[in-house]
Amino acid sequence: MHRSNDCTWLEIKQRAHYVSWLAAAICAAALLGLTSDLLVVQLTGGDVGADLIGLIYLSAIFPPYVYAWRKYGESSCGFLELEHALEASFTEAGGLEGRLAQIADFIARIEGARGMDRQVVRNEAKTWLSTHAEELTAEEREFVADHLGYLHRR
């Protein structure tokens, strides 16, 4: 069954809200890291200056707001569903990731094998490629041609 990739305006706003929260969470983590680094420098005898006070204040105020934003997003904006959908798109069984992982596994096994074992793995890869040739996307075909071109044509 084919699904449309068209998004409604509500879905676009929901995803933009999630991406905005994600950017704020990354900024909060960077702010906490920078503040802790500069605090260590100040405590070990370095001269950071009075700007450290503002960073400490921001580090005490900003992360709790980001946390509250996250809780609001989970309860009202479907952040958990978006994360599950994102994770599922990366780990979809038999999808792009699965076939590329299998091809990469064949490449690693061929490079790691010696002597006749190498030929056995090549034959196994060639058999797999011939049975899955119709399923390969253009990107996968190009990847195979670059790394296993002697076993499979584009």
DSSP sequence for 103-142: HHHHHHHHHH--THHHHHHHHHHHHHHHHSGGG--HHHHH
Burial 33-46 (b: 16+ CB within 10 A, else e): eebeebeeeeeeee
- 39 and 85 co-located in one domain: yes
Same-domain check for residues 34 and 86 = yes
Is residue 75 domain-shared with residue 120, that is, in the same domain? no
Domain identity same for 82 and 110: no
Q: Is the pLDDT of residue 135 over 70?
A: yes
49 and 69 inside one domain? yes
pLDDT per residue over 26-62, tens digit each? 999 999 999 999 999 989 988 888 888 889 999 999 9
Record the pTM: 0.54
pLDDT value for 7: 75
**What confidence score (pLDDT) does residue 110 get?**
83
pLDDT value at residue 26: 96
Q: Is 58 contained in some domain?
A: yes
Q: Based on the domain organization, do 54 and 103 belong to the same domain?
A: no
The verdict on 65 and 104 lying in the same domain is: no
Number of domains in the chain: 2
- Answer yes or no: do 69 and 25 share one domain: yes
Q: What is the pLDDT of residue 33?
A: 94
Residue 153 lies in a domain: no
Please give the sequence-ordered ranges of beta strands (E in DSSP) within 1-152, or none if there are none. none
pLDDT digits (tens, 9 = 90+) for 70-128: 999 988 888 888 887 777 666 654 444 677 888 888 888 888 778 888 888 888 888 88
Give domain status of residue 154, yes or no: no
Q: Are residues 35 and 65 in the same domain?
A: yes
pLDDT value of position 96: 45
**Shared domain check, 66 and 23:** yes
Q: What's the domain range around 130?
A: 96-148
